[in-house]
């Protein structure tokens, strides 16, 4: 699924990264604890979160997250936006709540990180 499709499904606003909307995303996770993001996510995931400060983008950068979607209509602060621009991490915002956002994406075929396993340098669904 492309980030553009995610944007449409969740009716997102693009904060940063219009040029990256054609990137493919294969899995997603939802978390507000960045320690969980650093511990449990997989490289290349899409992150949905309600945490809007710079830590959300820093954690995404360290965890090799492809893009961040802020839920509940939240918008990232200026420092987060600046870091995202530097790191080329797209930031989007949706008015939907976390549960609804994850559910809609899952319903449209985007699976969670626990449903993926790495085999010969490619991801395959379990």
Domain boundaries of the chain, sorted by first residue: 3-125
Model pLDDT, residue 117:
58
* The model's pTM: 0.89
Query: What are the tokens at 54?
Result: 């710079």
Torsion angle, alpha carbons of 119, 120, 121, 123, to 10: -30
Residue 102: which H helix or E strand, with range? Answer: helix 98-107
Taking domain 3-125, whether its CATH number is 3.40.1390.20 is answered by yes
Question: Within the chain, which residues score under 70 in pLDDT?
Answer: 117-126
């Amino acid at each position: 699924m492309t980030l553009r499709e995610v944007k449409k499904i969740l009716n997102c606003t693009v904060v940063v990264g219009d040029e990256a909307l054609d990137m493919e995303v294969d899995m997603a996770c939802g978390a507000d604890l960045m320690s969980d993001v650093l511990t449990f996510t997989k490289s290349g995931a899409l992150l949905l979160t309600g945490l809007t400060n710079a830590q959300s983008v820093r954690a995404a950068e360290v965890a090799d997250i492809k893009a961040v979607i802020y839920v509940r209509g939240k918008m990232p602060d200026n420092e987060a936006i600046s870091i995202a621009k530097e790191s080329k991490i797209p930031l989007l915002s949706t008015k939907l709540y976390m549960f609804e956002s994850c559910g809609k994406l899952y319903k449209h075929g985007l699976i969670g990180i626990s449903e993926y396993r790495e085999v010969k340098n490619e991801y395959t669904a379990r």
